[in-house]
Amino acid sequence: MDTFKGKKVFGGIAIASIFYYEKDQKEVARRKVSNTKAELERFETAKGEAAKQLQALYNKALKEVGEVNAQIFDVHLMMLEDDDYNESIVNIIESQEVNAEYAVAVTGDNFAEIFANMEDEYFKARSIDVKDISERIVRILTGSWAKEDLVEPCIIAAKDLAPSETVQMDKSKLLAFVTKEGSTNSHTAILARTMSIPALINVDIKKEWNGKTAIVDGYEGIIIVDPDSETLELYKKKKKQDEEQKRLLQDLKGKDTVTKSGRLIKLYANIGNVSDIGSVLKNDADGIGLFRSEFLYLEKDHFPTEEEQFTAYKQVAETMGDKKVIIRTLDIGADKQVHYFNLDKEENPAMGYRAIRICLTQTSIFKTQLRALFRASAFGNISIMYPMITSVEEVKAIKKIVEEVKAELDSIGVDYNTIEQGIMIETPAAAVISDLLAKEVDFFSIGTNDLTQYTLAIDRQNNRLDRFYNPHHESILRLINMVVENAHKEGIWAGICGELGADVELTERFLKMGIDELSVSPGMILPLRKVIREAE
């Protein structure tokens, strides 16, 4: 049993096997080996693991899509045991004295080409199958990952996770995150909070943890690898107690988020994609205060079409009914990179070509999203907010494009509702001129994550600076107070959608400032409702 300390991201307890994730290597390196017997053993072990994964996928498909559709995994299992296929791999390892993954990759390519050149359509189709099983074995041998490999609930251990990687994972299989790098303000950390799962960063993870049982204690900030039976039983009891505490909060469902003095606060949820709506409903949020629309772009390998976006926005709007759904327009750039945008490498991407700057430069991308949003507004209570605003001129440019989009929709007779439009206050510039900006928009949503990094001149992705990153800094709180006051002077509402909104140490201070809305991770809705209902 070994215990490793990390930095806490989200509380909770998870007990499961570790899935060690390593970024997929596109090319398999050829290495000379001195011990071919060891390589053959590595291959046999990997083949056995592949068989387990395929059997699990077959069982899952059998339940969900029926026997006919599940047969593909049965075919893969049979091909895994094909004599010619296995003999080729063994022969390459022994005769060329090379590593197992190279032998598997070469065999996969050779057999795929043989099948592809056959006249029979059935055998032609097997070309893709043999490539698939070969790639699966290579991933197991190299410790790399593909989203379909997650077949059982697990704890993900990784050097780091990019937003584009986490968004593709099967959320139902993730019980905890443990990473070596990252920061408490990274988007992976935000995802963990959105999913309400324990997460740690700055942990000295090891590749040999893969497959081992572990306990993640998000409250204490530790991971216990290979726990003994006594520790395992202790944490099973702790997990049960933790779940009981969460169950008691369920009594707050259906109750107003109102202070003792009778002041009603809007308590909304932050989400990343359509699949998060379940958590919003489960935790009884009053609405959605931040739908990060960029995750629609992160999970695709092409620009999402107007129709694809419309379908997603419409589904969220319809599911939430009369409750407000605030959708943030595209916020790509900085740590959220998408390959097909072809963004240049920047020295300081956090302050570079990102978010509204992309939208106002590449207006065709922006208009596609706006058309989808306005069309979806006919099916629910949608509001739009624009990120990374620094000037009144930007807001006026946005409004001009919006009018053009509405004129286009009017010309073809497409219905849409009157949409409340607001901006994110996440730059010091926007905070300082919030009195002017308040005249142009319907609401403010304060993005405290970026506002903090820009005000303190601290890169929130740099974990070496965590000791200097102080979201409670008086300058941040004064800026928030100023923004709220300027909003109210112009008769518009102001909320917080950054991580600071869930900081219960500041809740009473925010209430005294007159904040109208807090938008937080779904798992923080009920705990925060409890705090607000107990406040004066």
Annotation marks residue 359 as catalytic: no
252 backbone dihedrals φ, ψ, rounded to 5°:
-85, -5
Q: Is the distance from CB of 451 to CB of 476 less than 8 angstroms? A: yes
Among 358, 369, 423, which Cα is nearest to 396's?
A: 423
Give the per-residue SS3 of 461-477: CCHHHCCCCCCCCHHHH
Q: Is the distance from CB of 220 to CB of 36 less than 8 angstroms? A: no
Q: What is the DSSP string of 264-323?
A: B-EEEEEESSGGGHHHHHHTT-SSEEEEETHHHHHT-SSPPPHHHHHHHHHHHHHHHTTS
- Sign of the C-alpha dihedral computed for residues 49, 53, 54 and 56 taken in this order: positive
Catalytic residue among 76, 154, 359, 497: 497
DSSP letter (8 states) at residue 209:
G
Between the two ends of the chain, the Cα-to-Cα distance in Å is 48
H/E stretch holding 235 reads helix 229-249
Catalytic residue among 187, 302, 359, 488: 187
Alpha carbon distance 437, 343 (integer Å): 29
Annotation marks residue 187 as catalytic: yes
What tokens appear for 433 in the block? 């001129």
Q: Which residues contact 440 (CB under 8 A, 6 or more apart)?
A: 392, 395, 396, 399
Q: Which residues are annotated as catalytic?
A: 187, 497
